[in-house]
Amino acid sequence: MSLTKPKILHLDVETRPALAYVWRGYKENIGPEQVKEPDGIICWAAKWDGQKGMKFSATWEDKDFLKKLRQMLIQADAVVTYNGDKFDLPKIRGMLLRHGLGPLPRLTSIDLYKTTRRLGFFSARLAYICWMLSLGAKIKHHGFRLWVEVLEGKAAAQRLMKRYNKKDVTLLEELYHKIRAHIPNHPRLRPGAECRKCGSKHVTKRGYYYTKTTKVERLECQSCGDWDTGKRTTA
């Protein structure tokens, strides 16, 4: 891990639906023998925090797209996603296994969805959160038909999917910096830094809070606004 500036990776993956034989259009329990083609990742976009440029790779243009994604994740000090703990990261691990690639190391995950869903907003969907916080809008598309056309190999649909995927990562990075101070379990990525979130040295003591047995210093970062704890003494 870097002692000065950690490598934080913003990541979003897009997946394909499974293709299956079904008996009806509703209330269908699909058994393994009905699956003709399994689901999987079709593309991913990623960006290093604070750096220019966006990485993108897809099944239709790069046979090594999973190897490249794995390598970026290995290099990352932390990975930022939106609902990635339940969706993106398990999908990646499963795809690596299916394609005979090695597993990932233990990752420091910062899942922004876990923060936004606890803030009492009307919706925790990325599109709504980014609109409400004036961060911009997701790329518009024609719904499920886009995925169908991508799988059919239509170049226009693949270009739109690429724009859609990359814009989600752009929004993800902006949202991360917008709500970073509100992430309660943000890891300390800068050893020795005063502020565990942004690395600033401008941290001010703001009194104490008390438990039944302990007096704990309250610390406020003057750069990002984060509140942290300092020395603990017996009350």
Would the pLDDT of 202 be above 90?
A: no
Give domain limits for the chain. 8-182, 203-234
For the domain 8-182, what is the CATH superfamily, name and number? Ribonuclease H-like superfamily/Ribonuclease H (3.30.420.10)
The pLDDT of residue 1 is 40
The whole-chain average pLDDT of the chain stands at 93
Q: What angle do CA 13, 22, 93 make, to 5 degrees?
A: 25
- What digits encode the pLDDT tens for the residues 38-62? 999 999 999 999 999 999 999 999 9
pTM across the whole model: 0.89
- What digits encode the pLDDT tens for the residues 89-148? 999 999 999 999 999 999 999 999 999 999 999 999 999 999 999 999 999 999 999 999
- What digits encode the pLDDT tens for the residues 139-173? 999 999 999 999 999 999 999 999 999 999 999 99
CA distance 1 to 177: 20
CA distance 133 to 206: 28
Output the six-digit token pair for 72: 């970026």
